[in-house]
Structure 1
């Protein structure tokens, strides 16, 4: 596998320079009446029936999202666990078959290069991969170039670009998925496995990025349209675009790479310390561990926080955050929360101003609006977790 551009190039510049690619379901989206926009180098659906309606449908029923722009990567070969633990802060050795974890790639200074999911298929059940990883679409080529540079020759990395990736999210997702693939009813949050649908091999995890129960489904690109049709024929399911995906993940308090997470910020400041296993905290040994260990001991200089906005005017990315005349931070995600009927935001502020209930002001178009630091998620998560 060869990257087609220099991994040091700026992603935004590359997106402008490169022509947009089509997803495997491009024609299907257009036939459903989608409004298409450019995102992460692809033509993608922003909405079908409207962002507000699609947001509400997903919170109440089940929404089908096309996330095939994301990077799917398989790893195999001698010493794969040790090689990945040298790059990731996740406990790969302790990752059991049929389980997945949230993790991230860090640079040498502990800055976040990307956030990702990493899973262990049982006995090579997914295309022979010992480890399966999903990375963000806008960064996937940079990620792969970076990993090629750091992986030993014995570890083989396979960009699974022949696979589509769909996400079914919402409180009725379990019922809908079980109607097509009955075995998925036994999965709980962050479990995964190989399944079959009419002779098509599926890799399914019980996960997603909306805060709702749901599934992510990897399948051959040429089978994606048939599977999407079968799901959307069910009464619970409608196709949902990027707009609602963003408002759902914001309500869920989930960070978006390139906005809330960048190489300039840290794992601990981002409140993602849960992704660093107990053994990894004790041993270190991963790229960027120096900053992680220091911030675990001393605390970060800045923190990612949730913000409740007073009034109806939303605070968007880039809006500056003040205490009096002092600039203390910046909004990194913001918008209207349909489930709450009010604007919310996420941002980074200096540690002394990150405590819950701290009163702040945000400059929105030259006007100061009041905001308060609040807990995240803004809307409770409803994952189907395993019971004791």
Structure 2
């Protein structure tokens, strides 16, 4: 659990939850043109009072019947459930899958143990961050990758094109989209909620590890101990047609824990309070990992060998220090940022 404690120590007192009454969701990659896509939990959100808004081409709940503040504090003190099914889940197979992934990201994938994952970034030829993502090296001969919904339109072509390029050179790699739902259960009482539904001890699933398992009687799930709230938590990849059943089971799992649904508003305020990067806001294609204070995502071997896009620029910044760097600061009022007027789409 040391990784989770490190996240908690990183938490900047940037803003208090009460200041998010107006600043509910950041302006990252919002779309309103064309038909909005719906996650497998869309109807469930509506039935439970979710206020639906357009986000990255999807109709997503920004909050429920309770306030964003209540959702925020619920996750900090108990447990909250987020629908993150809009995020891009991919499965990378083939004997050259590690070489393929390392040609796109800065992480030392080869150095990961089976069922271990890491946060990494796709980089471009100038060292800028195309997107941040989590890569899991499973014991089932594939990499399980999760990246941002707002960048799916460039992440997927990037991966598909590189895979095709490597196959043309005789290498063995394939990329397939996983159509599962993805549910994030976050908060200090996550274990109390999830433990009754799995057959293994969650103590054996430390931070940034993953495993395939049955969850509350639902087969073919994958539980990964991670999340983007600064709290302990898991993300559960679940067959789409079982997503509502799993969510209902989690809500009813432990009568002694106040488990509540949480939306984009709380996810954003939790992330900001924890000092975690948000793509398009804190990092983008003009920001290098060094400038973003994400040098720790670059594996020691990768620093020595390079071989990822923009390596020359990034490694030189490590040597010379960057001219600009992301920092955290405190504020006694609402955050200095852009706001949106959010209107329901239902």
TM-score by length of 1: 0.75
Superposition deviation, residue 304 in structure 1? 0.6
Secondary structure of 2:329 counterpart: strand
Residue 122 of structure 2, aligned match among 80, 105, 129: 105
Q: Note the 1:274-313 alignment, pairs <5 A.
A: 274-309=296-331, 311-313=332-334
Counterpart of 2:223? 204
CA distance in 2, matches of 1:26, 1:313: 31
Are the counterparts in 1 of residues 29 and 55 from structure 2 also a CA contact under 8 Å? no
Matched, 1:59 2:76: yes
Residue 118 of structure 1, aligned match among 114, 135, 143: 135
Residue 26 of structure 1, aligned match among 21, 24, 42: 42
Secondary structure of 1:204 counterpart: strand
Residue 220 of structure 1, aligned match among 233, 239, 245: 239
CA distance in 2, matches of 1:182, 1:212: 23
Superposition deviation, residue 16 in structure 1? 3.6
Superposition deviation, residue 18 in structure 1? 2.9
Matched, 1:231 2:250: yes
Structure 2 gap ranges (5+): 1-27, 340-346
Structure 1 residues 159 and 81: alpha-carbon distance in aligned structure 2, compared to 1, 3 A threshold:
same
Residue 249 of structure 1, aligned match among 271, 277, 302: 271
Are the counterparts in 2 of residues 110 and 291 from structure 1 also a CA contact under 8 Å? yes
Secondary structure of 1:133 counterpart: strand
Superposition deviation, residue 67 in structure 1? 0.3
Structure 1 gap ranges (5+): 1-10, 125-129, 319-388
CA distance in 1, matches of 2:242, 2:226: 21
CA distance in 2, matches of 1:190, 1:167: 14
Matched, 1:35 2:51: yes
Are the counterparts in 1 of residues 29 and 280 from structure 2 also a CA contact under 8 Å? no
Matched, 1:78 2:95: yes
Are the counterparts in 1 of residues 82 and 261 from structure 2 also a CA contact under 8 Å? yes
Counterpart of 2:335? 314
CA distance in 2, matches of 1:262, 1:282: 25
Larger deviation, residues 223-232 vs 84-93:
84-93
CA distance in 2, matches of 1:199, 1:64: 17
CA distance in 2, matches of 1:29, 1:213: 24
Per-residue Cα deviation, 1:30-64 (whole angstroms, up to 9, x for no partner): 11111111101111010111100000111000000
RMSD of Structure 2 on Structure 1 (CA):
1.5
Count of residue pairs the alignment pairs up: 300
Q: Note the 1:307-346 alignment, pairs <5 A.
A: 307-309=329-331, 311-317=332-338
Superposition deviation, residue 150 in structure 1? 2.0
Matched, 1:270 2:292: yes
Counterpart of 1:189? 207
Higher relative CO (Cα under 8 Å, sequence separation at least 6) belongs to 2
CA distance in 1, matches of 2:115, 2:100: 20
Q: Note the 1:105-184 alignment, pairs <5 A.
A: 105-124=122-141, 130-151=142-163, 152-153=166-167, 154-160=172-178, 162-183=179-200
Per-residue Cα deviation, 1:5-30 (whole angstroms, up to 9, x for no partner): xxxxxx958x3433111110000011
Counterpart of 1:260? 282
CA distance in 2, matches of 1:261, 1:246: 15
Superposition deviation, residue 78 in structure 1? 2.7
Are the counterparts in 1 of residues 53 and 59 from structure 2 also a CA contact under 8 Å? yes
Structure 1 residues 184 and 241: alpha-carbon distance in aligned structure 2, compared to 1, 3 A threshold:
farther
Structure 1 residues 293 and 227: alpha-carbon distance in aligned structure 2, compared to 1, 3 A threshold:
same
Regions of 4+ moved over 3 Å:
none
TM-score by length of 2: 0.84
Of structures 1 and 2, the larger Rg is shown by: 1
CA distance in 1, matches of 2:309, 2:297: 15
